[in-house]
Amino acid sequence: MTSLMKTDIGASSNASPAAPFPERRPLDRLLSQLDQIADSSDHLIKKTFGQFESNGQSYNLPRYLFLGPKGGGDVIRIGIFATIHGDEPEGALALSRFVVALEKNPELAKGYCLFLYPVCNPTGFEDNTRHSRSGKDLNREFWNNSAEPEVRLLETELWTHGFDGIITLHADDTSNGLYGYVAGSVLSENLIEPALREAEQFLPRNTGSQIDGFDAENGIISQGYRGVLRGPWKLVRPPFEITLETPQKAPLHRQVEAFSAALQTILVEYRYLMAIAQNI
């Protein structure tokens, strides 16, 4: 939300005639824990994809796959997307924390293949801006013939993997508590409520009747902006879609723990709901 201000500060304090760009935040440092785990893990592999260019520099989108122990039925595929707003690295850090928890207790991911996208906006992360370096809010560009390479690459992921669930992580500097958006499958509401409840161990919930300009009930919003990262339209069996938002001004470790607890809860609850559905 304060991206413009941050950009201005970054540019004025770091720019010198010899340096055409403000100092950039290193992406590899943000991902170092995930990379370390992937090096030695039986479950986590790094599968970076999608090269693109920005101002003559080459970028990829980081992607990690976490394959849980085999479950009873079909593999459940969940895509988790973070840092589509470049100034919200909390979600990327939370994915590291989440993976640490899964490594300790892989049964949490039994039956799942998790597709983790910790940094969907690498240039925005480097510049510490909400928007990508091209000046676009990538989270308003989806499914609208966007020319932004990050959006096209992520749309292809959303098409090809046929996710059962899509979770996006955001941090909101205007909220004093946790909240979330639901869309897609009607199951989404059954998943977000226990997820928020679990996350409340670490941070309070935003109980306002209006959040981010939308009607909210117990921190849950059922509308949304056009062009946000979500599944393709008009699928016969739409995925559950959940956006989780932490209060960005709260202590970082609490946001990270809240996300990690919420994600673990969604895995447990969704597997449970699927088991019930199979027995009906």
**Residues engaged in binding Zn ion (CB under 5 A):** 85, 88, 170
Distance separating alpha carbons of residues 175 and 196, to the nearest angstrom: 15
Cβ nearer to Zn ion, comparing 121 with 264: 121
| 47 SS3 class | coil
Q: How many CA atoms lie within 13 A of 166 on its CB side?
A: 21
Cβ nearer to Zn ion, comparing 85 with 131: 85
Q: From the CB of 87, what's the least distance to Zn ion, in Å?
A: 8
Q: From the CB of 156, what's the least distance to Zn ion, in Å?
A: 22
Q: From the CB of 147, what's the least distance to Zn ion, in Å?
A: 21
Burial class for 188, CB neighbours closer than 10 Å (0-12, 13-18, 19+): buried
Taking the CA atoms of 210, 211, 213 and 215 in sequence, report the sign of the dihedral they define: negative
Cβ nearer to Zn ion, comparing 176 with 190: 176
Cβ nearer to Zn ion, comparing 248 with 265: 248
Distance separating alpha carbons of residues 216 and 208, to the nearest angstrom: 7
Q: From the CB of 61, what's the least distance to Zn ion, in Å?
A: 17
Q: From the CB of 179, what's the least distance to Zn ion, in Å?
A: 12
Residues 6+ away with beta carbon under 8 Å from 3: 85, 86, 87, 128, 129, 130, 131
Cβ nearer to Zn ion, comparing 1 with 67: 1
Max Cα–Cα distance, the chain, nearest Å: 69
What is the helix (H) or strand (E) element at residue 113, kind and residue range?
strand 112-117
Cβ nearer to Zn ion, comparing 46 with 140: 140
114 phi-psi bin (left φ>0, alpha ψ -120 to 50, beta other): beta
Q: From the CB of 277, what's the least distance to Zn ion, in Å?
A: 32
State the angle between helix axes of 90-104 and 252-279 in degrees (0 to 180), rounded to the nearest 10: 60
How many residues are recorded in the chain? 280
Cβ nearer to Zn ion, comparing 41 with 128: 128
Q: From the CB of 85, what's the least distance to Zn ion, in Å?
A: 4
Residues 6+ away with beta carbon under 8 Å from 134: 54, 123, 148
- Nearest partner of 180 among 212, 137, 132, judged by Cα: 212
